[in-house]
Each structure stands twice: as structure tokens, then as C-alpha cells.
Chains A and B, each alone.
Chain A
């Protein structure tokens, strides 16, 4: 039997295990690759505190300096909107929190479904805008690789199938729910091997950046 329910159960069962294992294994390997390389000792007398400034940069890099914002408002704003949207949907939609509770044993408050629905719509539009921007802006077109388009597709599919599933726009429902879970699993599997790693490593990068500048007395 190869019906939609079997497909859904496959995505909730064996495929989820595979995705989770590839994700955890791949990500930890990446993190180990970074941390074990470490840094050479620095003999220059510091002017400021590394740790403190590094931690501040973790936060401050969420916001661009005013000049950069003025020069690239579309890039910054659209990036901001879809990142925030994606995070809010991921972290505060009831079924997602139940998933975390089921696997990790910890839950947290959620947002009402209509709010998530609205944010999902906005996120989808913003994602399309980022693709258009990537295809049209000279810098982005020049630096984009096939990986960038692959990752965009994965992210877009996750959100789109989620939206289709929530609104039950594809019948039968187990099929579309399974497609959503499968997209999320492909996202997880791709994460350690593509630029999606930045979800985790960007914070390490920010810390290093903040610490390096901070040591010289500059808040980066």
C-alpha cells in the first residue's frame, strides 16, 4: 500500500529519524570543525574585553548600521521580515511546539493560529521578493551559486507546504501534511552541508567578530 497515510507515517517515522540523525551528526561535525580549529594565542595587549563585546555583537548584528540600511533598505527589510516570520512560525505555531514537546520534552507558549497564518502569508511574499532580488540585483546575481537557489527552494517549500496544509488546499490532507514534514526534513538534512549552517554558525562568527574588534576597543 502506498497511500497518503502511509506517506505521512513514513515522514513522521523513519524519515524523521533519518533527517534528525543527519542533521545532528552533520551539524555537530561542522561545529567541531570550527571549535577544534580554535585561534592562535594573541600576545597583543588588549584595549577592551573580548567576551563582553563578542556577546554584544551577537545581538547588535541583528540590526544594520543606519548607513547600510539607507543604501540597501530592500535587502535589509525583506531579509528581516522573512527571517522573523520564519522563526515566529517555527517556534510559536501550536503543532510545532507540540513537536518540540514530543521530542525534547520542553514546550513554551504559542501564538493563535490566525496570527501564524497571517505571518506565513507575509513570509511567503517576502521569500518571493528575496528571490526576485537575488535574480535582479547585480551583486547578488554575481555571487549566487546553485546552492543559494537550492536553499531558497527548500525554505520556500517548507513555508509553502505548511501554508497549503494549514488551509487544507491539497487533498487528501495526509499527503500535504506529509509533504510539509518531508520538506522540513530535507531542510534539516541540507542544513549542515549548505549555507543553512549559518543558523548556528552565524552566532559563532558574530562572537569572533565582536571579540576581535572588542579586543581593540571597538564595538563591532
Chain B
């Protein structure tokens, strides 16, 4: 594996100019919502810091997260991310195979105890699940994960499967899939959710870790606030249409053509926290809502089970008119029985009713 060098040396060896390097630092600062005065500190930290060893574990996943990361245009931030770290183990990217590959993982763990980062993509069949659902070199995903994180500095769960269980955990979750934070209790876990996540966000978190020596501020789902602090809806360029009540009702109508709000077509923007609306995809080309499609809410927990993609947010996920009718019918029976009983009792009382007589009344005088 690569010799332990500082990031600065490494970048210069690769022909990245000082100017280019500072641009990277400035872009990262802005992404992390840090003030411009922080740029020199970032630059200094990145130049001076040894590249951390990173072990990338892929479990029940589709490789979409890796695709997202590696398909970014070179030589942008996303390519440079690979220069920020010493990627010592990654199924898809590493040259080694078989036992040599597993050996690389073990070497990295032994060489940097308590120092290395673990990046996980994909969900893991939990300890109670059949370990055979997903194995690598004969070891279950769960065992590999627990073994690898034991001496890690921190764990970064990349993609919604690693962060929240994702598609494998969707109802009925046949493999008993769990998220990383579900299983790793004693290490810092950062979730970079999304299906796939925005590549810049991974860079941002790494830079932050290298610069400040700690993980960035996280939200309730352990996602970096800098990227997940605001909802898609709040930053959506179509928001003014929502506020004015202008909606596309179908994908072909006037509203759709005019680029009105996609709420009624099932947009989950209001409940989805991610940076798509500001960061955009494909080198800033576009993003789903800009292309006319409602947000699926892919960076939120349970997004597969959170109602149909094209069902508006306010539609309940399971209730139907049949439920309503069945309950109403049962209610009619219950009410009918109560009344029948009350009526019968009343009939009996009426049958036994004593008429009021003058004598009875006179007694009250």
C-alpha cells in the first residue's frame, strides 16, 4: 500500500498546483458552511496531516454509492477525495483479490489501531439473521463489520442502506437487514444518507475530520448538519409555487410544463433533508426536481416504506376506504346490539309500568 505521506506532498507529487489545492480548500469550506477565514486552516491541516487509512466495506448494496463517487468528472473534488485518504481496502476498486485482499484489510487495521476510518456501504444482516444471507470470503457481513470497527477511529455509513437499512431492510426485510448505527454502539458513526449520496458530502466529511480532528455537527439521524440541515422543500427553487398554491397535477399538464410545485405528484421534498437543491448532481448540471420529477425522499429513513413515490405526502400509507367501510359496518352492529339491548330492557320496563293514579298523587299532597 501507499507509503505514509502527508496529503500536501501527495498532491504535489500528482501535479496539483498550490492554487488548485487552495481552490479545493475554499470549496470545501463553503460546502461545510465555514467562514472564508477557515480556508488557510483547512489548507494547513490537509497539507500537514498524514493521509488516514480508510477501509471501505461493502455489504448488502448495489454499488450505486461507489458508482456515484467514482463517476464524478475528473479532476474535481470527487476524484481528489481518493487523494485525501489512503484507501487500503475496497472490493470494487482495489487491485488485490481473494486472500490478498483480506490480508490488506488486516494489515491496515494492525498498522493504524484507533486511527483508521471505516466507510460502509450497504446494510448488514443483523446478529439474529441467517449469517449466510451475505458473506465475504466465508465470513458473515456482521462478523466482518464488528471485527473491522473494533479498532476504528470512526465509521462513516455511506448511502441509505448503510445509514438506515435502505432497500434490503424494506418491508418485509427478508434478510433481517440492519443499519450500521443499529449495530455499532461504541464508535462515532456518521451517516451520509441518500440513494446514492452526494459525492461532495463524503469529501466534506473527510475534510472536516482531517481539519478539526473530529466529526462535524450531526442531526438526529447522525447526518452532518452542514448538508442535511435544511429540507429539499426549503431550498427548492419551485417553493414559491407551493407558497402560491400552484401545482402540477399530472406529468403532462400546464403546471408540469411551467415547472410548478410537484407536491401533488408525490414530492417528498418537505420531509427530506439533503443538499440536492443547492449542490445539484452531475457536476452541478441538474437535480431530480429540476428535471421535473418529485423528490423520492431517498435520504430519509424508511423511504421505501414511507408511502408510494407518487402518493402525496399527506396520504396515509396503509388506510383504505375498505378499512373505513369494514369498521363502519362493525360499528353499526355494535351500536345496533347496544340499542337492541337497551330497547328490550325498556320494553320490559314499559310492560311492568304502573300507571300514575290519583291516590298516589294525593299521597304527595
Contacts and interface: CB of A to CB of B under 8 A. Distances in A.
A and B touch in the complex (CB under 8 A): yes
Interface of A: 1, 3-6, 8-9, 12-14, 16-17, 20-33, 36-37, 94-96, 98-99, 101-105, 110-116, 168, 172-174, 177
B340 A36 contact: yes
21 contacts: A3-B221, A3-B301, A5-B221, A5-B300, A13-B318, A17-B323, A21-B327, A24-B327, A25-B328, A26-B331, A29-B335, A32-B332, A33-B338, A37-B343, A94-B247, A96-B314, A99-B315, A99-B316, A102-B311, A103-B320, A116-B245
Contacts of A16: 316-319
B243 interface: yes
Interface string B256-291: 000000011000001101000000000000000000
A36 B315 contact: no
Nearest to A102: B315
A172 B243 CA distance: 19
Given A25-B334, A32-B339, A98-B312, A8 B271 contact: yes
Interface residues of B, number: 54
A80 B306 CA distance: 38
A31 B335 contact: yes
Nearest to B164: A1
Contacts of A28: 327-332, 334-335
A27 B317 CA distance: 23
Given A112-B244, A168-B231, 19 more contacts: A3-B221, A5-B271, A8-B271, A12-B307, A13-B316, A13-B318, A20-B327, A25-B328, A25-B334, A28-B327, A29-B334, A29-B335, A32-B331, A32-B338, A36-B340, A102-B315, A111-B245, A168-B233, A168-B234
Contacts of A27: 328, 331
A94 B329 contact: no
Contact of A113 (B179, B221, B244, B334): B244
Contacts of B179: 1
B135 interface: no
Interface of B: 164, 179, 182, 219-221, 231, 233-234, 242-247, 263-264, 270-271, 273, 300-302, 305-307, 311-321, 323-325, 327-332, 334-336, 338-340, 342-343
A71 to B, nearest CB: 38
A23 B323 CA distance: 11
B327 A25 contact: yes
B302 A9 contact: yes
The interface residues of chain A, by DSSP majority, are classed as: helix
A173 B331 contact: no
Contacts of A13: 316-318
Contact of B220 (A8, A99, A110, A172): A172
| Most chain B Cβ neighbours within 10 Å, of A20, A23, A101 | A20
B312 A95 contact: yes
A20 B231 contact: no
9 smallest CB-CB distances across A and B, nearest first, come from: A28-B331, A32-B335, A112-B245, A102-B315, A29-B335, A95-B314, A24-B327, A25-B331, A98-B312
Contacts of A17: 316, 318-319, 323
Nearest to A14: B318
Contact of A1 (B182, B242, B315, B316): B182
B302 A6 contact: yes
B220 A3 contact: yes
B174 to A, nearest CB: 19
Contacts of A102: 311-312, 314-316
Given A9-B302, A36-B336, A114 B331 contact: no
B31 to A, nearest CB: 21
A33 B324 contact: no
B301 A6 contact: yes
A27 B325 CA distance: 12
A103 B324 contact: yes
B263 A95 contact: yes
Nearest to B222: A3
Contacts of B317: 9, 12-13, 16
A99 B301 contact: no
Contacts of A8: 271
Nearest to B242: A113
Contacts of B328: 24-25, 27-28
A32 B311 CA distance: 35
A173 B220 CA distance: 12
A21 B271 contact: no
A160 B330 CA distance: 33
